[in-house]
Chain A
Amino acid sequence: MELTTFWFIIIGVLWTGYFVLEGFDFGVGMLLPVLGKGKADSTTDAAAGQAGEVTDPVTDHIGENEKRRRVLLNTIGPVWDGNEVWLLTAGGATFAAFPNWYATLFSAAYLPLLIILVGLIVRNMGFEYRHKRDSVAWRKGWDTAIIVGSFIPAILWGVALTNMVRGLPINADMEFTGNLFTLLNPLSLLGGIVTMLVFMTHGCFFVALKTDGAVRHDARALATKTGLAAAVLAVVLLVWLGIEVGTVTSWVTSVLVALFFLAALAFNLRGKEGAAFAGTFVAIALFVLTYFVMLFPNVMPSTTNAAWSLTTENASSSHHTLVIMTWVALIFTPLVVLYQSWTYWVFRKRITTKHIPEAVDPSRPDPIKVH
């Protein structure tokens, strides 16, 4: 195999790693206001039932609803940052292996990327800072940051990648000649809605797998709704894209995406949470695979003139650089997968509202826990 083809696959693997991992933490962030509200755990009396009906915004940030939100946030607490590094590695590896791809893509998707960056920034700050003060206003603010900051990249990555696959106006100098509205076409917007719904479903399965009690139950119920919507729209997207730029292989992988995704929903209905999560995990990986199969051997097809498309050959680094990067990737990627998997094993226990400690605040001492 050509090294350029190998690196095309590596870039695909890195995006896959990013979407299967950060996909569920986007899902958790987006669903914070929905799953973070409802009946208290292990109480079935009328009072608690009524509390679940209350939608007054203040009660979302105190009492049982607040505990539910914290349960959700703690399912991803130790891992979201490591998940996001897959994006940084995908970006860095594209820069190293395909400088022209990196340069054209990042300068073309300028404003969407700016919005994605703002989303990621406020979301990450929300994760890190929300629990550091015990104040309703503080939590409300950061919750908004987390929710909005999860929706933005979940949608816009879908828009950006769909644009990349279907092609953009690119001139002979590999420069993007369109504008923001070129990027906001119906097909790509549909791509954004699909990634949003898929990540929501993936997030629900993750929550169902990592929590217990009412949150777990609600996540499973919600997954069926978002999952069905995702399934329908994903089929439309893949058929539409397939007609425009599909190949025999991409049709096969598209069918597999649908099968694994539907299997995940079926497993969820039967209460098999692990299998359901594995199902969306594989379906998302196959989804990225489908996109990359559609791209190859282009990396950014030009809609202006097919001869001006960026390909794995004309966008790549020199052979020497690719050889060095290959060694680095072959040694360190498995190592990363190993220790990152270990993190998930360390934090494998389900979390419930009764695990959630009292909120801390800088204005008062933490309780000293003696046992």
Chain B
Amino acid sequence: MDVLELARWQFAITTVYHFLFVPITIGLSALVAGYHTAWLRTGNTQYLRLAKFLGKLFTINFALGLVTGIVQEFQFGMNWSDYSRFVGDIFGAPLAIEALLAFFLESTFLGLWIFGWGRLPRALHAACIWIVHIGTLLSAYFILAANSFMQNPVGYRFNPETQRAELVDFGAVLLNKVQLVTFPHVAFSSYMVGGAVAMGVMLWNLRKRTLEARAAADAVETGGATKVAPTADDLTMYRKASRVGAIVMLVASLGVVVTGDLQGKVMTEVQPMKMAAAEALYDTYEKDAPFSIFTVGTRDGKEEKFAVTVPNLLSFLATGDFHGKVEGVNDLEPELQKKFNEGKLTSADSYTPNMMWSYWSFRWMMGWGGICMAIGVWVLWITRKGRNPVNRWMGPAALVGALSPVFAMSIGWIFTEIGRQPWVVYGVMTTKQGVSPSVSAGEVLTSMIVYTLLYGALAVVEVKLFMDYMRKGAEPVADDGEDLPGGHSDGSKNDDELSFAY
């Protein structure tokens, strides 16, 4: 493999991995903040237990999101130095602003929240986790603005003197029409992930604690009770928290569907080729394009053997009109060849992205999202009206429910980025032009192996730790709700133990 291919693989590996943790961070921080505030307002210590429980899971996850994020920022200069030179005038600004506005907020206020129990006034302490959450959203906004520029470059001009793209309208970059549909889509998806992870964790605990309570009751009858059983209050807490997770996820999923639909229409407008690839649409439909749910074709995808389609649906998804025209690859490719093949930065052998990946990743994204929504509805159904069931599907549902929206987001991004190929900045610069000229294939290969091994090992550690803390569950807290010795969150304190310490 050459430098280009290796650098692309490295970007794919490090970015997909990083982005497993990002939506969990955005989504869970909102839930932790919500529970923390609920405790503050009601004094109900169950909310505090849930805030602390989810807070622990949040920090286990946040750690990996943070460290893999550093690699992301350095990678542009390391592997993609020509890209950095060419678009740095535009692309660098959102990255710098992300660090200055978002990363400082997240890191500083997360430190305050984690170590702040009993050292800060209660309302201020709760505000810290909200600020962390706002930081995660700001971070998402700026990095997505940068990505949206790559999908649909706006607010710039090519300067022939400096031979690079230069900023003319920063407002246009921040309010790019792709950005305005992508940010809400990613934000809603992240809440979906947060809700789903909380739902999974709580549902698993609900089943486990219910079984423990029953076993303890049996043991009392036979006179063999030995350990403290979960109380009815515990079960109520997990049941309610499972439902809260499911509701957050389902409400967010509505936002995901609506914004996803809007994205499809913007995509058809700015990147018709991506839409054609997503549909494996070779020939243009002048009107009434059907949406294919499932296709069996020849291996190169050029011929269709069997397909399940919904009439007119693609026309609607792409254009908002059931009779709209949707262009196919066979018409788009020669158009793009003619338009771009002369330029040094824009010439490419083919302007058609990998069809199989584009087609299937688009469907897997929606499929995983749909599976998650179905599980959410099922969870609400089995726990309706105070029901507290135990059935063997709860374990698998917890696992699949928690992971499915994460998969959906990953594969959605794979679609977004593969579908843009061969471009790194759509219509302006091809990916092969962006790679670092002074870096050797051996160097990229070395770093790719190092990251892959390190990330793999850390994943094993993180998943094990996450599962162990999930099993531990939401711990009881002292009755006044502040399990700090002598600590009153009004700021008074004594010389005793820290309530949280490394």
Contacts and interface: CB of A to CB of B under 8 A. Distances in A.
Interface of A: 70, 73-74, 77-79, 81-82, 84-85, 87-89, 91-97, 99-100, 102-108, 110-111, 113-114, 117-118, 120-122, 124-125, 127-133, 173-177, 317-318, 320-321, 324-325, 328-329, 332-333, 336, 339-340, 343, 346-347, 351, 354-357, 362-363, 365-366, 368-371
Interface stretch (B103-111, B277-285, B343-351, B425-433): B103-111
Given A110-B443, A176-B438, A320 B77 contact: no
A74 B501 contact: yes
Contact of B485 (A85, A105, A120, A369): A369
A117 B104 contact: no
Given A96-B88, A131-B501, A124 B66 contact: yes
A355 B170 CA distance: 50
Given A114-B447, A129-B461, A317 B107 contact: no
A85 B167 contact: no
A2 to B, nearest CB: 17
A333 B97 CA distance: 11
A102 B166 CA distance: 16
A318 B159 contact: yes
B63 A124 contact: yes
Given A85-B107, A132-B60, A328-B100, A346 B93 contact: no
B25 to A, nearest CB: 13
A279 B471 CA distance: 49
Nearest to A95: B92
Nearest to A131: B502
A177 B438 contact: yes
9 contacts: A74-B501, A81-B66, A84-B70, A88-B70, A96-B92, A340-B104, A355-B495, A363-B468, A370-B478
Contacts of B244: none
Which 9 pairs across A and B sit closest by C-beta, in order of nearness?
A99-B88, A106-B77, A96-B92, A95-B92, A92-B96, A128-B63, A362-B468, A103-B81, A81-B107
A18 B159 CA distance: 34
Given A95-B76, A104-B81, A118-B450, A78 B114 contact: yes
Contact of A346 (B67, B116, B487): B116
A15 to B, nearest CB: 14
A355 B498 CA distance: 5
B465 A110 contact: no
A92 B99 CA distance: 7
Contacts of A104: 81
Interface of B: 59-60, 62-64, 66-68, 70-71, 73-74, 76-79, 81-82, 84-85, 87-93, 95-101, 103-104, 107-112, 114-116, 119-120, 159, 162, 164, 166-168, 170, 436-439, 443, 446-447, 450, 454, 458, 461, 465, 468-469, 471-472, 475-479, 483-487, 495-499, 501-502
Contact of A128 (B59, B71, B447): B59
A96 B89 CA distance: 6
B140 to A, nearest CB: 16
Residue picked from A73, A346, A351, A354, most chain B C-beta under 10 Å = A346
B443 to A, nearest CB: 5
A357 B70 CA distance: 32
A133 B468 CA distance: 10
A132 B465 contact: yes
Given A95-B84, A320-B166, A89 B89 contact: no
B497 A355 contact: yes
Contacts of A325: 93, 96
B84 A127 contact: no
Given A99-B84, A346-B119, A89 B92 contact: no
B497 A356 contact: yes
A333 to B, nearest CB: 7
A333 B120 CA distance: 24
A108 B501 CA distance: 40
B502 A77 contact: yes
A107 B93 contact: no
Contact of B104 (A82, A110, A111): A82
A120 to B, nearest CB: 6
A124 to B, nearest CB: 5
Contact of B438 (A107, A317, A347): A107
Residue picked from B92, B119, B446, most chain A C-beta under 10 Å = B92
Given A120-B70, A371-B485, A85 B501 contact: no
Contacts of B443: 110-111
Residue picked from A107, A129, A325, A343, most chain B C-beta under 10 Å = A107
A81 B96 contact: no
A115 B82 CA distance: 22
Contact of B77 (A107, A122, A343, A368): A107
Contacts of A79: 111
Residue picked from A96, A97, A343, most chain B C-beta under 10 Å = A96
A74 B167 CA distance: 44
A93 B96 contact: yes
A131 B101 CA distance: 29
B74 A111 contact: no
Given A107-B79, A340-B108, A356-B498, 18 more contacts: A78-B111, A88-B70, A95-B76, A95-B77, A95-B91, A103-B85, A110-B78, A110-B443, A114-B78, A121-B71, A125-B458, A128-B63, A129-B63, A129-B465, A318-B162, A332-B101, A357-B501, A369-B499
Contacts of B89: 99, 317-318, 321
Contacts of B70: 84, 87-88, 117, 120-121
Contacts of B495: 354-355
A141 B167 CA distance: 48
A173 B114 CA distance: 48
B501 A82 contact: no
A70 B497 contact: no
B469 A362 contact: yes
B166 A111 contact: no
A95 to B, nearest CB: 4
A99 B98 CA distance: 16
